[in-house]
Amino acid sequence: MSEIDLSRLDLNLLVVFTVLMRERNVTRAAEDLGRTQSAVSHSLARLRAQLGDPLLIKAGGRMTPTPYALRLHEDIVPILRSIQHVVSPPEPFDPATSRRQFRIAFPDNSRAFLTNIYARVQREAPGVAVEWLTPSADMLPMVAGGQIDICELAGSAPLPEGVEAHQGQPYTWMTYMRRDHPAAQDWGPAAWKTWPHVKVSVDTRSPSPVDEVTRGSGLTRRIGARIPNFASLGPLLARTDFIATLPPITMVDVLEEYDILALQPPVEIAPMPLRFLWSFRLSNDPGSRWFRNLVIETFSELHRKAEVTLATRWIDRAMGKGAPRA
């Protein structure tokens, strides 16, 4: 028998064949399939022609399978069941009973975000585990491959194929320093250029808007320290003469704890785009959708509150509103 051209083989013909093998009768098979007898007979004729075998032969009022039909039926039934399983809608996700593990890749730029995520997961899905990864150079390929359920990407770097994005509220910028910092008494472009800045190195593949705008305005900041994460920023600013320019969500939780001021930068800095990313493969997965929504809702609410809080707590001395305060 010559090799079958699968591109010309209709999967529906095999479905009809399995029903005929079960019923051994065209009339009953047509009833089961919701088709006419002529349609079932026509499907059998097409399959006979494509496979080069009579498959089922009328004998004594019943249809008797050929040896080839018996072998075909034995092999094709589990294949059709597998196909049905693959194309079936995903099963519902129940957070309360799930034991899944999710992976998230976010910078540690919000103490409240990390704790709120774990607290909410424990409340809604006590059996679910969350692995928190630090953003890295191979983060985007891992997201595209579905190895990371959701990540945050600041900036406008191009995305690889297979990645979907949700646009978040852009980051805005404030400058932070200890309350008794000398720069706070005469805050402006000169102080910005004079005092050393601390920079957190996060692999976002996008240049910092702070560097871009200050370089173009002649107010290039002098980097006095580069640190790998945000966790140490509070005590570092409180005990040194460093200053830092960052989004409000990064510092809002530590202003009072370390007596830090939040001031408007002396140069206008463009907001930084913010995106939440996940693999196209996970878009319709109920569990992944639940976790994505939880992460995006939690971060977006904290981000919004931080922006509002700091917008109402700093005072621009240049506008004659008094001394800056946290």
pLDDT tens, residue by residue, 189-224: 999 999 999 998 876 556 677 777 766 677 788 899
Helix (H) or strand (E) holding 102: strand 101-105
Q: Is the pTM of this model over 0.85?
A: no
Residue 10 has pLDDT above 90, yes or no: no
Any residues with CB less than 8 A from the CB of 66 and at least 6 apart, and which? 53, 54, 55, 56, 57
Domains with residue ranges and CATH for the chain: 6-87 (1.10.10.10), 103-326 (3.40.190.290)
What does the alpha-carbon distance between residue 307 and residue 290 come to, in Å, rounded to a whole number? Answer: 26
Say if residues 117 and 298 touch (Cβ distance below 8 Å): yes
What does the alpha-carbon distance between residue 6 and residue 156 come to, in Å, rounded to a whole number? Answer: 44
pLDDT tens, residue by residue, 50-103: 888 898 888 777 788 899 989 988 888 888 888 776 776 667 889 999 999 999
